[in-house]
Structure 1
Amino acid sequence: MTRPLLTGRLAKWALILMEFDITYTPQKAIKGQALADFLAAHPLPDDSPLNYDLPDEETLTVEETRWRLYFDGASSIKPALRSTIPQIKAGIGLVFVTPEGGILRYALSLTEPCTNNEAEYEALIAGLELTIQMGIQHIHIFGDSQLIIKQVEGDYKIYKPELLKYHKKVKDLMKKIPQVQLRRVLRSENGEADSLAKVAKELANPDYEEIHITIRNRRPISTILDDVKRKVFGGKAERS
């Protein structure tokens, strides 16, 4: 009995199938409709597990190569102290995630008053400007403001004239980035950028260009006292 000459992967699979008394007949092409008919006639059960393992085969995976940006803006009215006119203070927070998982954080205080929606736009614009400065070619941007995301994507109309200039600036910056995608996330998924924006807002002070903040870890005093009790009395210290 003669068999067609098989080489490479075809020969390897033919040898594997011979163990199960299955005859392998190579085809140069399979028409799409024939394949669709076969799948329709042999559906898998809904609870059928999928096995992606191939015997003696190497599989390659494509790692994520895009950057991610989480942005948020915050604005609030500051109670008047010396003057009778309350001040509006605002800040923005940006969190970049590199393809390798590195984190870059930015918190910027806005020196001019603006609304919360304007602060959100300011955050997005600052993030896009940094993206361009860093030469990032592909980035996925996340924000929790449905209004801003939908306006930029063209799903919502812009009724307030003061937001039109922000919208135009965003679109102009996005044209300078080869691949950029926007997506709305829940506020709970944007917590770090939200926290940075709120910190920057609270520190908004036009008298200073930069404010340096030192962040350190600190143990709760209760755990320190427990350690002291253990050293003095021995055993476990009970908390009241």
Structure 2
Amino acid sequence: MPRPVEKGQAIADFISELTPPALSETSCPNAILTPPEKMDGERFDNSVPLWILHMDGLANQQGCGAGLVLTTPDGGKVKYALRFNFRTSNNEAEYEALLAGLQLANSMSAKQISIHSDSQLIVNQITADFAAKDASMSAYLSAAHQLLEKFQAYKIRQIPRSENSHADALSRLASAINDKIGRKVPVEILSQPSTTAAEVCTVRYEDTWMSPIYAFLTNGILPTDKSQARKLRYRSARYTVINDVLYKRGYTTPYLKCLIKE
């Protein structure tokens, strides 16, 4: 069967990757230039550390996956991969990569983020240059904007695929295998699209074993009994609160999130 879409994409990639960045419209009127980055300029502050997200999604016969590389302000790189247990289109996989990257950056308290993607559709839908015509794209676009609102400012730009090779490689490996990619890149398995509304059940929270520890670490509240207060001080030294969540410290292990019975 003819594959005009794949041929057209190959031509677009070829032009995008091989167009010299120094060319301008005056020097070469027929050149196709990479679009300039779009940014939320009003709230952008150069004094605030900037995080950089490279992400890519992929859907093929082997499976569907996404990869992302989040660069911290000090140059460290966090690599992450996603494998989907459901079928997606390439555009949906790109959106899944974007949502995962934004959630990761937000969990690491990033305030400003620069997003780099080789997907023309995703970039232009985020900047409102393209409209989301079907229900799936509209749901993904809405979810992306909800996450972007959690940042002080952001900017997004389309880059050639050659500049997004690391995230592209992660997405290809994640779509083909279930295990860890090497030893330093975790692979998360998604059982359903991120836009699927989860069923939420109301849970009644009462005082638990965590309540006295949390109250002491956050507000310095101690029991009136001196003996109990002393025991609570010693016990609380093994715990910490991060983003309003109680964790148990470990000497050689990561922080352990404390949970109630439910």
TM-score category of the 2 structures, normalised to the smaller one: 0.5 to 0.7
How far does the alpha carbon of each residue in 1:124-148 deviate from its partner, in whole angstroms, 9 at most, with x for none? 0111111111110111110000001
1:121 aligns with 2:95: yes
How many matched pairs?
139
**Distance apart, 1:64 and its partner CA:** 8.3
What's the RMSD between the two structures over aligned residues?
A: 1.9
Percent of aligned pairs with the same amino acid: 37
Provide the residue aligned with 2:244 in structure 1. Answer: none
Per-residue Cα deviation, 1:176-211 (whole angstroms, up to 9, x for no partner): 11111111111010000000000001115xxxxxx2
Unaligned runs of 5+ in 1: 1-61, 79-88, 205-210, 217-240
1:93 aligns with 2:77: no
Cα 1:113–1:65 shift into 2, 3 Å: same
The aligned residue for residue 131 of structure 2 is 157
Map 1:50-129 onto structure 2 (within 5 A): 65-78=49-62, 89-129=63-103
Deviations 1:28-77 (A, max 9, x none): xxxxxxxxxxxxxxxxxxxxxxxxxxxxxxxxxx8883110100000012
Match of 1:194 among 158, 168, 178: 168
In structure 2, do the counterparts of structure 1 residues 214 and 71 end up closer, same or farther at CA, with 3 Å as the change threshold?
closer
Instruction: Map 1:41-52 to 2 at 5 A.
Output: none
TM-score in terms of structure 1 length = 0.55
Q: Contact 2:48 / 2:112 at 8 angstroms: preserved in 1? A: no
CA contact (8 A) 1:121 1:166 kept: yes
Distance 1:100 1:148 in 2: 27
SS at match of 2:75: coil
Distance in structure 2 (CA, Å) of the matches to 1:137 and 1:215: 29
Aligned-partner Cα distance in 1 for 2:182–2:158: 32
Residue 115 of structure 2 is aligned to residue 141 of structure 1: yes
Give the match for residue 142 of structure 2.
Answer: 168
**Which ranges in structure 2 are unaligned for 5 or more consecutive residues?**
1-45, 185-262
How many angstroms apart in 2 are the aligned matches of 1:167 and 1:143? 15
TM-score of the aligned structures, taking structure 2 as reference length:
0.50
Which aligned segments of 4 or more residues in structure 1 are displaced greater than 2 angstroms? 62-65, 212-216
Q: Which amino acid aligns with 1:75?
A: A
Residue 103 of structure 1: how far off its partner (Å): 1.1
Question: Secondary structure at 1:212's aligned position in 2?
Answer: coil
Counterpart residue number, 2:14: none
Q: Distance in 2 between matches of 1:90 and 1:77?
A: 8
8 Å CA contact 2:58–2:94 kept in 1: the answer is yes
- How many angstroms does 1:107 deviate by? 1.1
